[in-house]
Amino acid sequence: MDGQQYAVLNINTFDDVDRARFDTSPTDFEGETVESRLARRRRNWTPRAV
Protein backbone atom coordinates (compact mmCIF):
# COMPACT_ATOMS: atom_id res chain seq x y z
CA MET A 1 0.00 0.00 0.00
CA ASP A 2 1.34 3.39 -0.92
CA GLY A 3 4.73 1.84 -1.74
CA GLN A 4 5.04 0.42 1.80
CA GLN A 5 5.06 -3.29 2.62
CA TYR A 6 2.94 -4.57 5.51
CA ALA A 7 2.49 -7.87 7.31
CA VAL A 8 -0.16 -9.48 9.47
CA LEU A 9 0.95 -11.50 12.48
CA ASN A 10 -1.23 -14.30 13.79
CA ILE A 11 -0.55 -14.64 17.52
CA ASN A 12 -2.28 -18.02 17.50
CA THR A 13 0.81 -19.46 15.80
CA PHE A 14 3.27 -18.37 18.54
CA ASP A 15 4.18 -20.46 21.58
CA ASP A 16 3.84 -19.08 25.10
CA VAL A 17 1.76 -16.01 24.19
CA ASP A 18 -0.76 -14.88 26.79
CA ARG A 19 -3.81 -14.17 24.63
CA ALA A 20 -5.42 -12.32 27.54
CA ARG A 21 -3.02 -9.44 26.78
CA PHE A 22 -4.79 -8.78 23.48
CA ASP A 23 -8.19 -7.24 22.81
CA THR A 24 -10.37 -9.47 20.68
CA SER A 25 -13.83 -8.89 19.31
CA PRO A 26 -15.95 -10.28 16.49
CA THR A 27 -15.57 -8.24 13.31
CA ASP A 28 -17.59 -7.87 10.16
CA PHE A 29 -16.10 -6.02 7.20
CA GLU A 30 -19.05 -6.65 4.88
CA GLY A 31 -19.90 -3.51 2.94
CA GLU A 32 -16.58 -1.83 3.74
CA THR A 33 -15.39 0.49 0.98
CA VAL A 34 -11.96 0.09 -0.58
CA GLU A 35 -10.88 3.39 1.00
CA SER A 36 -12.05 2.30 4.47
CA ARG A 37 -10.37 -1.09 4.12
CA LEU A 38 -7.03 0.44 3.12
CA ALA A 39 -7.22 3.00 5.95
CA ARG A 40 -7.94 0.21 8.47
CA ARG A 41 -5.01 -1.83 7.18
CA ARG A 42 -2.65 1.16 7.39
CA ARG A 43 -3.76 1.70 11.00
CA ASN A 44 -3.61 -1.90 12.16
CA TRP A 45 -1.12 -3.83 10.08
CA THR A 46 2.57 -4.05 10.92
CA PRO A 47 4.90 -2.06 8.63
CA ARG A 48 7.85 -4.00 7.27
CA ALA A 49 11.12 -3.19 9.01
CA VAL A 50 14.49 -4.24 7.64
Task: Give the pLDDT confidence of 1-50 residue by residue, as tens digits.
Answer: 778 788 777 888 889 988 888 888 888 999 999 999 989 888 887 777 66
- Residues near 7 by Cβ (< 8 Å), separated by ≥ 6? 45, 46, 48
Between CA 25 and CA 29, with CA 4 as vertex, the angle to 5 degrees is 25
pLDDT of residue 29: 93
Inside any domain, residue 29: yes
Containing structural domain, residue 24: 6-47
- Give the three-class secondary structure for 6: strand
Residue 21 covered by a domain:
yes
Q: Residue 32 carries which DSSP code?
A: -
**Does 1 map to a domain?**
no
Q: Please state the domain count of the chain.
A: 1
pLDDT at 34: 94
In a domain, 26, yes or no: yes
Q: What is the pTM of this model?
A: 0.58
Asked whether residue 39 is assigned to any structural domain, the reply reads yes
